[in-house]
Amino acid sequence: MTEWLQALVADWGALALGIITFLSCLAIPVPSSLMMLTAGAFAASGDLDLATVSASALIGAILGDQTGYQMGRLGYRRVEGWLLHSPSRAAILGRARSATQKGGGIAVFLSRWLFSVLGPYVNLLSPGAGLGWLTFTVMGIAGEIVWVISYVGLGYIAAGQLEQAGDMLGNALGLLGSLVMTIGLGWLLLKRHRKRHEPHPDSP
């Protein structure tokens, strides 16, 4: 399937890439990151235009996010029932729910690129978590810009070595994700420690 999608990007260019990123933001299992790397490589060889494929990938991702948000606002319960049929998706849904409730707009931003597996689920959960459309949209667009620039840009720079480039970026994002989680956990523990040792208002 991956080879077929790569051929699709080569034949249909920006349009195919936009459709792929759109579908990926709806939890459809398509290798969108790999396709952006491929599109970047084609742009480096002159077969595609870098600005056009980048804009198409970004527009597709934004439209996918917006579709997911509206699905969550209008019919989340129906979609949730479908997601819970799969144990793996149910587990991701639980992680996304926790991230959305605790992080709000920051969770939307990070789930576009750093924790991208959570992205489609955060889209669905955001309306129910009380995250307004404007905040969701601004943070979502900011995160998608990082995602698109990271993968299309790396594909452009590392044309001809896509597998190595993908592994390198994946490892870098994994390391950054671990660092963010460590800092976040440390902050929560420090906050809890301070709260526990605050003097009670009624104490002498």
pLDDT, tens digit (0-9, with 9 covering 90-100), for 51-75: 999 999 999 999 999 999 999 988 7
Q: What is the predicted pLDDT for the residue at 2?
A: 57
Q: Above 90 in pLDDT, residue 109?
A: yes
Q: Above 90 in pLDDT, residue 159?
A: no
Domain-embedded: residue 151:
yes
The count of structural domains within the chain is 1
Q: What is the predicted pLDDT for the residue at 172?
A: 46
Query: What distance, in Å, lies between the first and last C-alpha atoms of the chain?
Result: 70
Give the pLDDT confidence of 85-97 residue by residue, as tens digits.
Answer: 788 888 888 888 8
The closest of 111, 124, 132 to 68, measured between CA atoms, is 124
Q: What is the predicted pLDDT for the residue at 47?
A: 86
Residues spanned by the domain of 8 = 2-196
Measured distance CA(194)–CA(170) in Å, rounded: 36
Mean pLDDT of the residues in the chain: 80
Q: What are phi and psi of 198, to 5 degrees?
A: -70, 140
Domain-embedded: residue 202:
no
Q: Which residues contact 144 (CB under 8 A, 6 or more apart)?
A: 58, 61, 62, 65, 112, 113
Domain-embedded: residue 203:
no
